[in-house]
Amino acid sequence: MKVLLLKVINTNKLVLPIFFLTHITLMIILGNFTGFALDEYGYAEVLKYLYEENQSTDNFSVWVNSDILFLQILYSPAKVFILFGVSEVISIRLLSIILTTLTLAILLRNLDTNKCQYTISRLVIILGFFIPSFFLWTTLGLREGFLILWLTLIFIYSFKFKQTQNLVLLIPIVIGIFGLMQTKLYLFVLTIVSFTIAFLVYSLVVRKITLTRILLMIAILSPLVFHPSTSKQIYSVASDTLNRVHEVNIASENKSDIPNSYQTEGTTLYQFNVFFKNSENQSLIIKFLKRINFDDYLASVSPQSSVHTLLKISRPSFNEPLAIIWSAIKFLILPLPFIENGSLFLNVISYEMFIWFMLYLFIGLQILSFRPQANENYFVLLVIIAYLFTFLLFSSLFEINLGTIVRHRVILLLVILNLVVVLQNSKGYKDRLVINYDKPI
């Protein structure tokens, strides 16, 4: 049994098909039902009208800052699915599943079979991709599938480039950073900030600037050169963000209610109920929920559901460092099991936090046991750690809803799993033989 389990864990030919087919099974169960993410219908509408003449992203409620040509290329596989009679919703979900499976394949393939902790690192990555909330969001036709692929291309191939100095590896890095710029602007900005911090710190520590580091920075900054309008978009978003922070600071100083802050209530399930009642969809999940009289429960849900006092989330100001730290902790640990989180969905999701806590413990021990050196191979490790902290800082300042916290932790998980790959590659060599089932012996 142990040998069989190890074979499954260590064999991409088994792991990836199982992962893909499990996703497909969930997709079939959901059918065309989009109640778990109400904005998923907006992404389906994008695909529906994307290839019409004289189309503009101004007509879409999502993808508002993206180029129309970029979207047409991005959604071309989903368009092919439609030609075979597949609906828009199922097409974008298929695309998301393919991208997520590709991301998992990249992470697993870039673990070093000759280094220590190869099997445990594979197991952590595989379990991470099966965390229920992550699994759900990457099954739905949202932007999460694209985001995790872009970030993985950037981090993993930056690390491989630093190791091998192969210029060809700059291509996936450029693809990843351009894709990230078009998909989620604030994550693109955080990436630039993280690389800049790592570049400056490393230059001070090793007291020299290498060509590979310069080339890597050029690749990361290339969208600002070839897509100049991005700078204006960044300035606009940054101005709006600083204005909101200023409003929070003023409210904090005046001891008044902080704008855009509210406790995490049962609004998600309440909206699900409205969608459920108005839906004529007859997917398997709808039939199952009606069979168990779940609609009766939904009818009793109030948008003002009570929650535990720990779950009251508000936006801290910059002059409240302890509040920022507490907000970051809430981003990491909520929703909590065994307490009222505001809705049935969040209460169920809360039990996956045991997996998150084990993941935090694992990556924490890995970082504490790591012995950093002034070596070029550790530059990307510093980049990922810087990204982790800047993402946590941003989230602690602007996340004001527990439902969005659960959804945005997809990015946190992806960054942690990239860190697992880089740390494993930085381990010492094994002193015993371990079979890699993907290669002939």
217 found inside a domain:
yes
433 found inside a domain:
no
262 found inside a domain:
yes
CA distance 397 to 325: 10
CA distance 64 to 70: 12
Beta bridge pairs of residue 103: none
Q: Are 430 and 119 in contact (CB under 8 A)?
A: no
438 found inside a domain:
no
Beta bridge pairs of residue 263: 312
436 found inside a domain:
no
Show Cβ contacts of residue 99 under 8 Å, excluding neighbours closer than 6 positions: 145, 146, 148, 149
pLDDT of residue 198: 93
- Structurally, the chain folds into a number of domains equal to 1
**What's phi and psi for 219, nearest 5 deg?**
-65, -40
Beta bridge pairs of residue 262: 313
Residue-wise DSSP of 226-283? H-THHHHHHHHHHHHHHHHHHHHHHHHHTT-PPTT-EE--THHHHHHHHHHHH-----
Element (DSSP H or E) covering residue 372: none
CA distance 174 to 404: 29
Q: Angle, to 10 degrees, between the axis of helix 284-291 and the axis of helix 12-30?
A: 60
434 found inside a domain:
no
What one-letter code names the amino acid at 364?
Answer: G
Quick one: how far is CA 128 from the chain centroid? Answer: 12
CA distance 282 to 107: 37
Structural domain containing residue 79: 2-425
With tokens 């191939």, the residue in question is: 157
For 170, the token pair is 């700059």
Secondary structure letter of residue 116 according to DSSP = T
pTM (predicted TM-score):
0.87
415 found inside a domain:
yes
308 found inside a domain:
yes
CB neighbours of residue 214 within 10 Å: 11
What's the sign of the alpha-carbon dihedral 371, 360, 23, 67?
negative
Task: Quote the strand ranges of 132-255, DSSP E.
Answer: none
Our separate counts of H helices and E strands in the chain read: 21, 2
Tens of pLDDT along the chain (441 residues) come to 555 556 556 677 789 999 999 999 999 998 888 878 878 888 998 998 898 887 776 667 788 778 899 999 999 999 999 999 999 999 999 999 999 999 999 999 999 888 788 889 999 999 999 999 999 999 999 999 999 999 999 999 999 999 899 999 999 999 999 999 999 999 999 999 999 999 999 888 877 788 999 999 999 999 988 887 777 777 766 666 666 555 555 554 554 444 443 333 444 555 566 566 656 666 777 677 777 766 666 655 555 555 566 667 777 877 888 889 999 999 999 888 988 777 777 888 999 999 999 999 999 998 888 776 655 568 899 999 999 999 999 999 887 788 788 989 999 999 999 999 999 988 766 544 444 545 443
